[in-house]
Amino acid sequence: MKKALYCSVFSACLLGSPAAVAMGVGFSSGSLGPIVEGSFNISKSFGARLGFGVMLGMTSLEVGSRYTFYADIEHAAALLDYHPWQGNFRLTAGAMKNTLTWAFQETGAGSYKFGG
């Protein structure tokens, strides 16, 4: 029981230490694909985050043997976090750039008639 209590107290002290939370790396995935994010503390109230993600050709889709859909998605972010009460609550400002490039191509031969 004492070992568990000591481990809990040590962990709580370590998590509260500025050196333990000075820098971090995070990974996430969503509609923009996989994203890698780095963060670091500027002070107790301010932090900065940089994020980058790329999904190249991951949405390539062939419909039958006649059509091909291809998309490239890129994401970049530079964010500044303000923690007014020096806790988990934060206000964030910054810039994000999301790029979507796509192509839909007809690969088969033939003619089409619309509305007829």
pLDDT, tens digit, for every residue of 50-103?
999 988 775 556 666 666 777 888 999 999 999 999 888 999 999 999 998 887
CB-CB contact of 53 with 74 (8 Å)? yes
CA distance readout (Å), 49 to 20, 38, 41, 79, 90: 17, 6, 9, 5, 13
Residue 1 lies in a domain: no
Give residue 83's domain range: 22-106
Residue 11 lies in a domain: no
Residue 62 lies in a domain: yes
Q: Is 14 helix (H, G, I), strand (E, B) or coil?
A: helix
**Whole-number pLDDT of residue 108:** 65
Q: How many domains does the chain have?
A: 1
Query: Which pTM value belongs to this model?
Result: 0.61
